[in-house]
Amino acid sequence: MNRQATKQPMSSREKSFLAILMPIMALFFLFNTLPLIQGFLYSFTNFRGFGTYDWIGLRNYADLFQDSRVGNSYRFTFLFAVVSTVLVNVLSLVLALGLNAKISAKSALRGIYFIPNVLGGLVVGYIFSFFFTYILPAFGTAIGLSDLSSSWLARTDRAWLAVVVVAAWQSIAMNTLIYISGLQTVPLDVYEAGAIDGATGWRRFRHLTLPLIMPFITINMVLCMKNSLMVFDQIMALTQGGPAQSTESISYLIYSNGMGGGQFGYQSANAVLFFVVIVVISVFQMKFLGSKEEQL
């Protein structure tokens, strides 16, 4: 009994795994966990990013709820996230259904559609910035369409749409890949049995395909919403929060005012609040969509 209770020495295999794991954990703590803890502590101070600072308690958090600029950034971010999430998932699912069908050159098309996801967000943003600033207005002028004759990026009522277009164009690829993986898990026997009962077209999708890929829809919705709420690269490359702060996302506000605006402590509080908001929204999505999975 004592021999069994005695802890066995680690094998060389276990020591190798531990030797690989420990440096990774140390790096994760150093570059992820430690900055998170420091940012949380700074949120209770008036730290400007340099020099000395004082402990001010919850004053930063109280000021956040009275700051109209912060409120506008949350409003824009939520609007962008909802529109982008719906648009990306609808288009991704349609594209996945097409790429999963029996079509010629299917493998080549799957490679082509994934190219936007390989490119960096800033690179894509700068390319589209040139498109919206010069090419689209020139095209609108040529065809006599006044709505396209001026740059969308210079209009407060159109700039956010340009950001949605760019973000969706780049995000669709990954979501489509997840949907294709989900569609390939659906057994062919299910479709054959459904065809006998007359389930074709929309009925086949609604009653057979949709319930079986619902877990993949949940994954895509949660990830897409989270990524949309954290939008930064497209804002940085396209509008830098303009015009007139109409496209200033929360992430961009935290970066611009925290790093260069002397509000490091204040924006640290904003970052902590934003983190809580993302967690709450993600948990709500998981529970809501999880209940839909059970119903379907």
For residue 137, which phi and psi values (nearest 5 degrees)? -60, -40
**Letter string b/e over residues 48-73, b meaning 16 or more CB atoms within 10 A of that residue's CB:** ebeeeeeebeeebeeebeeeeebeeb
pLDDT at 226: 93
> Which tokens in the block code for residue 238?
């396209």
Residue 213 lies in a domain: yes
Residue 10 maps to a domain: no
What are the residues whose beta carbons fall under 8 Å from the beta carbon of 80, sequence distance 6 or more?
160, 163, 164, 167, 228, 231, 249
Task: Give strand ranges (E) for 12-168.
Answer: none
Q: How many domains does the chain have?
A: 1
- pLDDT given at position 6: 60
Q: Quick check: helix, strand or coil at residue 150? A: coil
Which portions of the chain are predicted below pLDDT 50?
A: 1, 3
What pLDDT is recorded for position 296?
61
Domain for residue 112, yes or no? yes
Q: What residue numbers bound the domain in which 246 lies?
A: 69-295
Domain annotation covers residue 27: no
Please report the pLDDT score of residue 116 as a whole number: 82
Q: Which of 134, 126, 168 lies closest to 152 in space, CA to CA?
A: 134
Residue 36 lies in a domain: no
**Where residue 77 sits, what CATH number does that domain have?**
1.10.3720.10
Supply the pTM of this predicted model: 0.86
Q: What is the pLDDT of residue 4?
A: 52
Q: In 3D, which of 213, 8, 207, 198 has the Cα closest to residue 93?
A: 213
Residue where the block lists tokens 């943003």:
125
- 190 by Cβ neighbours in 10 Å (0-12 / 13-18 / 19+) ranks as middle
